[in-house]
Amino acid sequence: MENPFGAGLTMQLTGSGPAPMLRRSNRGQSMNQRVAVVTGGVGGLGASICRALADAGRTVVATDLAHRGDAIEAFLDDRNGRDMHFEPMDVSRFEDCADTLSRIAESRGPIDILVNAAGITRDASLRKMSVEQWRSVLSVDLESVFNTCRQVIEPMMQRGFGRIVNISSVNAQTGQFGQTNYAAAKAGMHGFTMSLAREAARKGVTVNSVSPGYVDTEMTRAIRHDIRAQIIESIPVGRIGMPDDIARVVRFLCEDDADYITGANVPVNGGMFMSF
Ligand code: CAA
């Protein structure tokens, strides 16, 4: 197979699972790093996850909708020398995911880490919910996870290493007024996560979900002001979550030595939903 990094980049390191290849950074320096793809990567949560993974030495490719011009520009401006890149990709379209993810693998190297952080809300009580509101949320929040994982799972299993993290929600565990679509999609993600975790467990690939509570992003800023204030008031730790609260957990699950955690859901919700 052709080495997408050119000649001389073949060194392997020791560690759990096959080590990442010695790769060349975009500044020509050699570095050992794995390739991570983060969908919804220029959003509030996604960008924070990208920075956390890049700070841990990964080459990170954020994907998001091409028309999010301002967010993409802000993401690229905020790199501060981190090895972070952007590729347009619509997670609700299978063919687009196939093309984009294979292009990323060709240009940057095999995808070792996939974080599914793309998500939308179209809140409405069921009695008012349109078919479009239902379908768009199921498509972007749940079908997307099939669309992306389907592309990377086989190569990860063949190489004997992979980390997949699906970003779900506390509302998948509790339900929420106005979110039958979102809660159904995010709860569906857990069944997907556990099933794929079983399929990949013997091949060095872990599959987990992280369930954030209410995090300070555009998504939660769109909630009606009084309802949002009421929700924040109910959070046991007494504050809304910050994107970095979530990113730190994702980074941990993506470490090489987090290899005995799979099929798990990690709640990061400030105590909003406590369970065993
Ligand atoms: N809880 C209880 N009752 C509610 C309610 C709520 N959250 N929202 C509305 N109601 C009540 C109203 O008081 C009203 O009661 P009456 O008929 O007795 O007057 C009735 O329900 C109105 O029902 P509607 O179907 O007309 O609802 P609405 O259109 O007024 O409001 C809604 C629907 C805009 C979705 C609103 O419920 C809402 O904003 N809910 C919160 C949604 C939310 O938390 N979204 C999270 C987005 S962020 C995210 O999802 C990230 C994450 O992972 C956590």
Active site residue 260: no
Out of 125, 186, 221, 231, mutate this one to test ligand 1's pocket (max ligand atoms within 8 Å of CB): namely 125
- The mean pLDDT of 89-116, rounded to a whole number, is 98
181 lines ligand 1 (CB under 6 A): no
Interior angle at CA 79, CA 78 and CA 84, nearest 5: 135
Say how far apart CA 135 and CA 122 lie, in whole Å: 10
Residue 269: phi, psi to the nearest 5? -130, 15
First to last CA, the chain: 47
The pLDDT of residue 33: 77
Per CATH, domain 28-259 is 3.40.50.720: yes
Percent of the chain with pLDDT over 70: 88
Could you state, in order of their start, the residue ranges of all structural domains in the chain?
A: 28-259
Distance 196 CA to ligand 1 centre (A): 33
Q: What is the pLDDT of residue 76?
A: 96
Catalytic residue, from 182, 249, 254, 269: name it: 182
Percentage of the chain beyond pLDDT 90 is 88
The response to whether residue 138 sits with its C-beta less than 6 Å from ligand 1 reads: no
CB 252 within 8 Å of CB 210: no
Smallest CA-to-CA distance from 140 within 181, 197, 193 is with 181
pLDDT at 3 over 50: no
What the block records as the tokens of 233 is 């008031």
Per-residue pLDDT tens over the stretch 109-118: 999 999 999 9
Q: Which residue's CA is minimally distant from atom 22 of ligand 1?
A: 125
Is residue 224 within 6 Å of ligand 1 at its C-beta? Answer: yes
- Is the CB of 133 inside a 6 Å radius of any atom of ligand 1? no
Q: Which atom in ligand 1 lies closest to the alpha carbon of residue 213? A: 54
Probe residue for ligand 1, chosen from 121, 122, 123, 127 as the CB with the greatest number of ligand atoms within 8 Å: 123
For residue 217, give the nearest of 181, 247, 186 by alpha carbon. Answer: 247
Quick: pLDDT tens for 131-166: 999 999 999 999 999 999 999 999 999 999 999 999
Residue 170 Cβ < 6 Å to ligand 1: yes
Which of residues 227 and 9 earns the better pLDDT score? Answer: 227
Smallest CA-to-CA distance from 164 within 209, 99, 120, 214 is with 209
Q: On the CB side of 28, how many CA atoms lie within 13 Å of its CA? A: 0
The mean per-residue pLDDT over the stretch 249-265 comes to 98
CA of 176 to the centre of ligand 1 (A): 8
What are the angstrom distances between the C-alpha of 123 and each of 46, 141, 155, 176?
21, 13, 37, 10
pTM for the model stands at 0.90
